[in-house]
Amino acid sequence: MITRKRLAAGACGLFVALTAGLLPSTAAAADGPAKEPPKVELVLDVSGSMRANDIDGQSRMAAAKQAFNEVLDAVPDEVRLGIRTLGATYPGDDRALGCKDTKQLYPVGTVNRTEAKTAVATLAPTGWTPIGPALQAAAQDLEGGNATRRIVLITDGEDTCAPLDPCEVAREIAAKGIHLVVDTLGLVPDAKTRAQLTCIAEATGGTYTSVTHTAELSGRVRQLVDRAADPVATPVATEGAKQCASAPLLKAGLYSDRETFGEHRWYKVEVRPGQELRASVSIGADRAVNNDYGVLLRASTVHGREIVRGSEAGDGRTDVISTGLRYPKPELDGDEAEKTETVCLQVSNSFAAGPAVKTTPGMPVELTIDLVDGPAGGSDAASFGLGRGWWLIGLLVLTGLLAGLVWGWISRWRISVWRTN
């Protein structure tokens, strides 16, 4: 005889089975080879010039230590992090010795935050600025395996150990084809430092950032460490046109270009019905520019009708300014269902500079294009094979009904048991 208790248990089992079917399977994620953890090495300038007190009322060294402590607290668990110094140990005037002054302060690996912070706390501004030798040694620290690799160089001055040009060192690193990116950060940089650090970054596909505040330093280093944990694709070089008709046709991806002051460049993207175009652009001010500037990203039809635009403006010194837009193309019926639309993307800037500033090459542009299914795409439903629309709604209603029946049976059974007792 089937009792109410057994009936309730069976219904509970059915409910659990159905709800389990609604959850995306994680077994597939567990299959396949495990990814090698990304590697990052922070290379810190500890030369004598780091004593200067011009960052938020404290020395450059104190600002760097504070930023490092904040970064160490936030390092993702999957990142293998190391720290290398330059100019930290030799205080003398012997150039040969000063240009060998680089050492690994903390080995690349899983971070013990207490040990790493203790090591950083011992640093004091000391000697020379051997950037080239430090980059060579850092590249060796990151050797081995197929993990993504990143060097983040923080310095307040240009290399003092020529003829070993750090730009040439960066080019040699890039020529090895090991996908090692060097990002550079200049602390209150002068024009020569800015030029050298920009050259190092560009040679390896990295970024250059000028820093004048502690919060900027810690925020940017954290961003770069996080980027190593979730790497982005290497930009594909492209060249925008002066009008949409002759613009290059871009697919989803990351693209790099250059744009001079006040220039307009055009690109084309094909969008199918039911897709959403998501685009963003960043322009780097890699030279001295005037205050009051902006960037515009504009989507229009091939006939010139504006669809949507994104813009951003600023009125102070910056290194990167970004904006973005979204265009969901509605689904169509009949013969129009498969018809694609060519969307014209215009990238413009309103940067200006003094007469002594070089206008060539243009400023670096990074353009991101993404094409995704629109809101009706139901990508979550597809993960467990239900398709879209009414099938999903019907199953959810059925699940709710069963849940209500199970709860009612259980409640009646408990009351029945209570009365018999």
> pLDDT confidence of 29, banded at 50, 70, 90?
very low
> pLDDT confidence of 70, banded at 50, 70, 90?
very high
Cα 113 from Cα 74, distance rounded (Å): 10
> pLDDT confidence of 128, banded at 50, 70, 90?
very high
Q: If you search the block for the tokens 């020379």, which residue do you land on?
A: 128
Q: Residue 164 has what pLDDT?
A: 85
**Owning domain of residue 301:** 236-377
Is 335 in the same domain as 308?
yes
Average pLDDT, the chain: 82
Is residue 189 a contact partner of residue 216, using CB atoms and an 8 Å limit?
Answer: no
Is 66 in the same domain as 202?
yes
Q: Residue 71 has what pLDDT?
A: 93
The answer to whether the Cα torsion of 251, 257, 260, 262 is positive or negative is: positive
Is 62 in the same domain as 195?
yes
Q: Residue 287 has what pLDDT?
A: 79
Q: Residue 354 has what pLDDT?
A: 87
Is 221 in the same domain as 284?
no
Q: Residue 34 has what pLDDT?
A: 57
Q: Residue 380 has what pLDDT?
A: 35
Q: Would the pTM of this model clear 0.75, i.e. be above it?
A: no
Q: What string of DSSP letters covers 86-105? A: ESSS--SS-HHHHTT-EEEE
Q: Residue 154 has what pLDDT?
A: 96
Q: Calculate mean pLDDT across residues 118-129.
A: 94
- Dump pLDDT digits (tens) for 357-413: 888 888 889 999 999 876 544 333 333 333 334 455 566 667 766 776 776 677 666
- Dump pLDDT digits (tens) for 234-283: 678 899 999 999 999 999 988 989 999 999 999 999 999 888 999 999 88
- Dump pLDDT digits (tens) for 72-111: 999 998 999 999 999 999 999 999 999 999 999 999 999 9
Is 106 in the same domain as 122?
yes
Tell me the CATH number at 78. Answer: 3.40.50.410
Is 246 in the same domain as 217?
no
Q: For the chain, what is the domain count? A: 2
Which of these three, 340, 362, 377, is where a domain ends? 377
Is 212 in the same domain as 341?
no
Tell me the CATH number at 345. Answer: 2.60.120.380
Is 271 in the same domain as 225?
no
Instruction: Kindly provide the b/e burial profile for residues 318-343, where b requires at least 16 CB atoms within 10 angstroms of the residue's own CB.
Output: ebebebebebbbeeeeeeeeeeebeb
Which region among 142-146, 347-351, 410-414 has the lowest average model confidence (pLDDT)?
A: 410-414
Q: Residue 337 has what pLDDT?
A: 60
